[in-house]
Amino acid sequence: MKIRICALVAPVLLAVALPSLAAPRDDSAAEKLGFGLSLQCWTYNRLTFFETVDKAAGLGIKYLEAFPGQKLKPGSNERMGPGLSAAACEEIKKKLADAGGMKIVAFGVDGIPTDEKGARKRYEWAKKMGIEVLVTETEPNEIHDKLCTEFNIRYALHNHPQSWQPEKVLKFSKDRCKLIGSCSDTGHWMRAKRVPVDTLKMLEGRIEHLHLKDLNEFGGHDVPWGTGKGNPAGVLAELKRQGFKGYFSIEYEHGSLDDLAKNLPLCVKFFDETCTELAK
């Protein structure tokens, strides 16, 4: 009798519990626009890469931007980057597959060798790992131009407040292939007192990748997307107008792990809801 009662009660308890679970993320509108939401792993730089994969999976994010030097996993001495052992690279691929088929789509910010032998080795590693975008502050040359075309990998010049401002990106990319351009960090633009939407208009045709941010004020700190002064909805609308296809990395650089647990889901929700409106 007790067994029969348990069998009857268990489904009821499960049904009661289910509404408390987060609904699966629907990114179909974003994918329709050609937009992919990725997580810059620097957001969780206090954790290992494997722990960051778990955090991203919990958010429903399936794309990652890895950064150099992040410890691979608890108890490991390996660190993310082109110096990873072959065994570690295979372990990463398995971890991503087990997490639902996640992908590392971008890597940086990191220097890229300027000689062909060194640069080719970097591109070969990126291709092996499925990386589509190399984010860097290394000045591009004819070797990078050649390898971008050969490997079909984007070369995205990242702007800190005082580096690779749009005028400089345009100057150094104008005679290069269309795979060389800007990693547009909208938060750092705001710290340099630039309006993100206006700056994107300047860079039209040379935007390769984004670190999308919203700050509480120009020169301020990260806040959940749509609650600050960065106009991320306008950013997404402008890139739709431009026909941009690529990735938007969340790089949230403010607050504790508990703050991230509260604020990152709000960014994901804002992105998906805005993309749903834009895709209509």
What is the per-residue pLDDT for 10? 46
Q: Is 233 left (phi over 0), alpha (psi -120 to 50) or beta?
A: alpha
How many angstroms separate the CA atoms of 163 and 182, rounded? 11
Report yes or no on 20 lying in a domain.
no
The one-letter amino acid code at 195 reads V
Domain that holds residue 173: 29-278
DSSP state of 25: P
DSSP state of 92: H
How many angstroms separate the CA atoms of 52 and 45, rounded? 8
CATH number for the domain harbouring residue 233: 3.20.20.150
For the chain, what is the total number of helices (H) and then of strands (E)? 11, 8
Asked if 251 contacts 188 with a C-beta cutoff of 8 angstroms, the reply is no
pLDDT digit string (tens) for 238-253?
Answer: 999 999 999 999 999 9
Residue 5 has pLDDT above 70, yes or no: no
24 band by pLDDT with thresholds 50, 70 and 90: confident
What is the number of domains present in the chain?
Answer: 1
What is the per-residue pLDDT for 22? 55
Instruction: Measure the N-to-C terminal CA separation of the chain; round to a whole number of Å.
Output: 55
pLDDT digit string (tens) for 77-128?
Answer: 999 999 999 999 999 999 999 999 999 999 999 999 999 999 999 999 999 9
pLDDT digit string (tens) for 177-211?
Answer: 999 999 999 999 999 999 999 999 999 999 999 99
Q: CA distances (Å), 189 to each of 74, 108, 136, 192, 194, in order?
A: 35, 18, 16, 5, 5
Q: CA distances (Å), 21 to each of 24, 99, 101, 107, 277, in order?
A: 9, 18, 21, 32, 25
Helix or strand (DSSP H, E) at 211 = strand 207-212
Q: CA distances (Å), 211 to each of 43, 59, 83, 114, 252, in order?
A: 11, 17, 25, 24, 9
Residue 15 has pLDDT above 70, yes or no: no
Report yes or no on 4 lying in a domain.
no
Instruction: Count Cα atoms within 13 angstroms, Cβ side, for 147.
Output: 25
Report yes or no on 18 lying in a domain.
no
Q: What are phi and psi of 161, to 5 degrees?
A: -55, -30
Structure-token match 């984004």, residue found: 210
Structure tokens at 37: 């939401």
pTM tops 0.85: yes
Report yes or no on 7 lying in a domain.
no
What is the per-residue pLDDT for 184? 98
Mean pLDDT of 25-48: 98
Report yes or no on 217 lying in a domain.
yes
7 band by pLDDT with thresholds 50, 70 and 90: very low
How many angstroms separate the CA atoms of 137 and 156, rounded? 8
Q: What SS3 state is found at 113?
A: coil
